[in-house]
Each structure stands twice: as C-alpha cells, then as structure tokens.
Amino acid sequence: MRLIFMGTPAFALPSLKALHESEHEIAAVYTQPPRPAGRGQKDTPSPVHARALEYTLPVFTPTSLKTPQAQAEFASHKADAAAVVAYGLLLPKDILDACPRGCINVHPSLLPRWRGAAPIQRAVMAGDEQTGIVIMQMNEGLDTGDMLAAERYLIPKGTTAGMLHDTLAEKAPALLLDTLDALESGNVTRMRQPDAGVTYAKKITREECIIDWNRPARDIQAQILGLNPAPGAFFMHNGEAIKVLNADIVAFVPKGAPGTVADDRLLIRCGESGLRPTLLQRPGKKALPLDELLRGFSIPSGTAL
C-alpha cells in the first residue's frame, strides 16, 4: 500500500524502519516541528524527522492539521492509509477521511485502559501486571476507535517505564505490518472497544513527581519506576531536588515518622514499610548507585526528607 507515516518520538522509530524496509511505499512522513533542545536550546528535528531524512523520505512538519491548506497537502499524497505512531496531534475528520483505508494507530496499552498521552508511564505507576499493543482504526475521539489487532505483554517486576517503552516499541512493528496486510486484503477484524474499564493516561505533572513518604512503600516504588528515566520521582534535601530512579522495598523498618531516614544507608520510612533508594541523581549530575552517592553526599540517620 501507499502510506503516510505519522510519528515523532523514538518510540516510533522501529515502526518507521519496518515500514521503510517492507513492500509498502511511504509517500510522506509527518512529524512535529523542530523544538529547542540541549544546552543551547537550538531547534532540533524530532527523532522521526532525523530518521526519515536518513531514508530520504519527504518530511512534513505542520503545526496544525486543521487548516484547509494542510488538509489539501495531506490529501495530495494520495495514500491508501496513514500509519500513526505517537504523532502528538489530534487528527481532524478531514484528515481521518483523506485516505480510503483511514488512519491506523499504534497504541501502547490494552485499550480501553490508558487512553491518552502517557499510557506506558501510567501502567507502571499503577502497578499494572500486564499491558500491550493495540492497533486501532482512528476516529475523532481520544483513542476510542475500533481495535484491529492486539498483543498482550506481562510486565516483569522491577520494570521501569523506559524499559517498557523500549520493549513495546520493538513489539509494535510486526503487529502493525500484519494489520496493514490484513487491511489491504480485506481480512481485518474490527472489534469495538468495551465500555467498561476505561482509564485515561494524563500527561505527567511536576507535582506527581514529588515523593510523598506517607504513602506505602510499594506505591512509591511504582511511582519511581514509572517516572524512570524521565521526568523522575524526587525528594527535597537541603534545597536540592534529588531524583530516585530505583529503590528496594524494606519490609521491617524501625518505628518513626514517614520521610525520616532510619539508618546511614538511606533507608527511608514510608507510610507502610520502607524504601532504600538504589539509584539516585542530583541536579545537573549523572545518576549514581547509592553507595557512590553517599561517599561525597551524606544524608545521615534521623534526617527528615
């Protein structure tokens, strides 16, 4: 089929690569415009933009798809379908209707759980035991279209959002290609999303990154894993926001107020049980294992965080 590929972050790269190497033709790549990045805040192309240029594919970076000009340009590619992988813009009806076979979206959750912007982080933060990839026929709603294919994935204990991101990104291409082949041959099966079990994966706010030591240790550990590698869960100490990127649960902790340090190796009391951070990062510095951090940065027993 003749396709338009729509994606922006690194999550979309394996799918773009698979389509580029397939028998399908990529007529155009749509991605978010370059954004300021790095210390110099220089405008930088998205990962998909950079990879598409390597593949010598035509790249389009509209700030909106709602204008008649953008919609006419989109239709001019005369694509059979659009493959959408973490593009970042809602598609208006005229875009959804521009391709005969519509717009097909790769979504990294088992819909209808975790519709929206941050399904991978939310799944880990919620302590979900499973997630997956759904290929969906897009409509005007927020991740509400019919499901065309799905693959379930069990989340191993200790998985971070970054690890899960990479796993699902690598699993997506095979399911996407199978679905496009079925769509082309007319053998695709459409399944309406159930009304029960709908949850929304809102964007992560800074407030959600602050560790509340009054919560149970298991919940805080899930928060830490779900925000690793970014934006990172953190606590304040001497005016510094110290990120905790991984931590072990300690079942038996000496009695004391939540948020106080119970020993000289940063065992922190929680609302239930305790946590010992194992990987931490001070502002502007690289992440360090606990013992390395404590060699030059003491957080003694009795400290209230």
In a domain, residue 228? The reply is yes
Statement to judge: residues 35 and 166 lie in one domain: yes
Q: What is the pLDDT of residues 142-185, one digit of tens each?
A: 999 999 999 999 999 999 999 999 999 999 999 999 999 999 99
- CA 279 – CA 111 distance, rounded (Å): 33
pLDDT > 90: percent of the chain? 96
Statement to judge: residues 174 and 217 lie in one domain: no
Q: Is the pLDDT reported for residue 21 higher than 80?
A: yes
Give the end of a domain, one of 200, 233, 256: 200
Number of separate domains in the chain: 2
Q: What is the pLDDT of residues 107-145, one digit of tens each?
A: 999 999 999 999 999 999 999 999 999 999 999 999 999
∠ at Cα 9 (176, 153), nearest 5°?
45
pLDDT value for 37: 82
Contacts of 137 (CB under 8 A, 6+ apart): 102, 103, 104, 105, 145, 146, 147, 148, 190
In a domain, residue 59? The reply is yes
| Domain ranges, residue 155 | 2-200
Q: What is the pLDDT of residues 238-269, one digit of tens each?
A: 999 999 999 999 999 999 999 999 999 999 99
pLDDT value for 296: 84
Q: Is the pLDDT reported for residue 38 higher than 80?
A: no
Q: Is the pLDDT reported for residue 48 higher than 90?
A: yes
Statement to judge: residues 135 and 256 lie in one domain: no
pLDDT value for 226: 98
Statement to judge: residues 121 and 96 lie in one domain: yes
Q: Summarize the confidence of residues 218-243 as an average pLDDT.
A: 97
pLDDT value for 40: 78
**CATH assignment at residue 223:** 3.10.25.10
pLDDT value for 86: 97
For 111, 148, 160, 204, 255, the CA distances from 223, given in Å and listed in that order, are 22, 32, 10, 11, 23
**CATH assignment at residue 69:** 3.40.50.170
Give the end of a domain, one of 142, 167, 200: 200
Q: Summarize the confidence of residues 74-82 as an average pLDDT.
A: 98
**DSSP-derived pairing of the beta strands 200-201 and 115-116:** parallel
Q: Is the pLDDT reported for residue 101 higher than 80?
A: yes
Statement to judge: residues 263 and 166 lie in one domain: no
Statement to judge: residues 279 and 131 lie in one domain: no
pLDDT value for 46: 98
pLDDT value for 196: 95
Q: Summarize the confidence of residues 180-205 as an average pLDDT.
A: 95
pLDDT value for 99: 97
Contacts of 286 (CB under 8 A, 6+ apart): none
- CA 78 – CA 170 distance, rounded (Å): 29
pLDDT value for 201: 97
pLDDT value for 18: 98
Q: Summarize the confidence of residues 216-221 as an average pLDDT.
A: 98
In a domain, residue 302? The reply is no
Q: What average pLDDT does the chain have?
A: 97
In a domain, residue 300? The reply is no
- CA 163 – CA 229 distance, rounded (Å): 9
pLDDT value for 300: 95
Statement to judge: residues 71 and 182 lie in one domain: yes
- Listed as own residue / partner, the contacts of 249-254 with beta carbons closer than 8 Å and 24 or more positions apart are 249/217, 249/218, 249/221, 249/273, 249/274, 249/275, 250/217, 250/274, 250/275, 250/276
Statement to judge: residues 232 and 291 lie in one domain: yes
Give the end of a domain, one of 200, 217, 249: 200
Statement to judge: residues 187 and 251 lie in one domain: no
Statement to judge: residues 173 and 261 lie in one domain: no
